[in-house]
Amino acid sequence: MMKLTDKVAIVTGASKGIGKAIAHAFGLAGAKVVVSSRKQDAVDEVAQEFADAGIEARAIACNVGDPEARKALIDQTAEAFGSIDILVNNAGTNPYFGPVMGMEDWAYDKIMEINLRAPYELARLAYPHMKAAGGSIINISSVEGQTPSPGLGIYSVSKSALIMMTKVLAQEWGKKKIRVNTIAPGFVKTKLSQAIFDNPQMLEYVMAKQALDHQAEPEDIAGVALMLASDDSQFVTGATFTADGGLTI
């Protein structure tokens, strides 16, 4: 299972949920993991938890909406480990739920900055540290980027654009041995989707549409990410892997 031995991986939004599960899976597979999220104390706690489990982990706080913080995350990782092999753009946000006509400019700007511009800039910053030996970039989108739900309009737009950005970078960087892929999770038990799981009627509706009958946990997405980070997917780039339990069939 040590598919990522000596690989250096950055995972954003890794203090909890899907990001933490992905970082943990990478560490168990032998990677040196940079755990990143907005608050230093939160990533320190996760890095210590990983270290106690025998995983080599480093905590670097980064608000991905801050250009200087993005640059610092990449620079500090490269300085500490000498290279970057894997980048998982997992951090995301959705500060507004409702019709697009009710959305204020600040909410639109924040969604686009965090969900689209940050992955774009982090990928560009990581590129010089990957191009010699190649690497894997994994963007965490959503089924909302494929089929929008009411109230999530601009969030869906940002996640759809992230899927297209994945294809563009995969096309341009393939000859540099840099693979770029997307995972589009369905409804996973995380803070971002907690309102759905706390609402019995909404949960019943989702589970009725979903082909599989279990509620998704972050670890269900981590396995897909591990495959995309490893040589098991060395001929895969520009692809979107829908992990939604059959919700969108």
Dist CA 46 CA 123 (whole Å):
24
Residue 196 has which token pair? 């759905």
Question: Which residue shows structure tokens 């900055």?
Answer: 113
**Rounded to 5°, angle at Cα 44 from 40 and 45:** 120
* 205 flagged as catalytic: no
Dist CA 5 CA 76 (whole Å):
20
Largest CA distance in the chain: 51
Dist CA 70 CA 126 (whole Å):
10
Contact 145, 119 (CB under 8 A): no
Backbone angles phi, psi at 102, to 5 degrees: -95, -5
- Catalytic entry in 108, 127, 155, 205: 155
Amino acid at 112: M
Residues classed as catalytic: 155
